[in-house]
Amino acid sequence: MSRPVFARRFRVPFSACDPAGIMFFPQVFLLFQDHVDQWVTEGLGLSYAELLGPRRVGLPSVRWESDFRAVSRMGDELVISLQVERLGEKSLTLHFEVHGDGVLRVAARQVIVCTNLDTHRSMPFPDDLRTAITRFQEQST
């Protein structure tokens, strides 16, 4: 059984492109962050804004690996997908892929550590977040 995927479509806007007319690589990382926000809110059913705001639960990136395999241009319709590779006590590893026209454009791996935003120390994932991620992992594809 393959891992469940959270995917959505994205059209590359003018504001994401560099003077060469291609998607500027830092914009891809902003796309990934937005996708995590959407996944937590829509895919897991928890408010990402509430986690970071009133609950003071941080989900910062501590490691990135990325392979840029093909360019994306303004107006390209892309599909970004996320899979959970590993859920630990305090960390989470996600795998991303960005496809356009059937071509893998970007593959990336992100490690997130759950933190207390008041102390900036790592902490175990809150029970509701851990349960939601576990349920997501158990979905059949």
Instruction: Spell out the domain ranges in the chain.
Output: 6-138
The pLDDT value recorded for residue 129 is 98
The pLDDT value recorded for residue 21 is 92
Task: Classify domain 6-138 at the CATH topology level.
Answer: Thiol Ester Dehydrase; Chain A (3.10.129)
- Residue 136 near residue 3 (C-beta atoms within 8 A): no
3-state SS, residue 10: strand
3-state SS, residue 52: helix
The pLDDT value recorded for residue 140 is 57
The pLDDT value recorded for residue 3 is 85
pLDDT in tens, the chain (141 residues): 578 999 999 999 999 999 999 999 999 999 999 999 999 999 999 999 999 999 999 999 999 999 999 999 999 999 999 999 999 999 999 999 999 999 999 999 999 999 999 999 999 999 999 999 999 999 854
CA atoms within 13 A on the CB side of 54: 2
Give every CB contact of residue 120 below 8 A, 6+ residues apart in sequence: 58
Give every CB contact of residue 19 below 8 A, 6+ residues apart in sequence: none
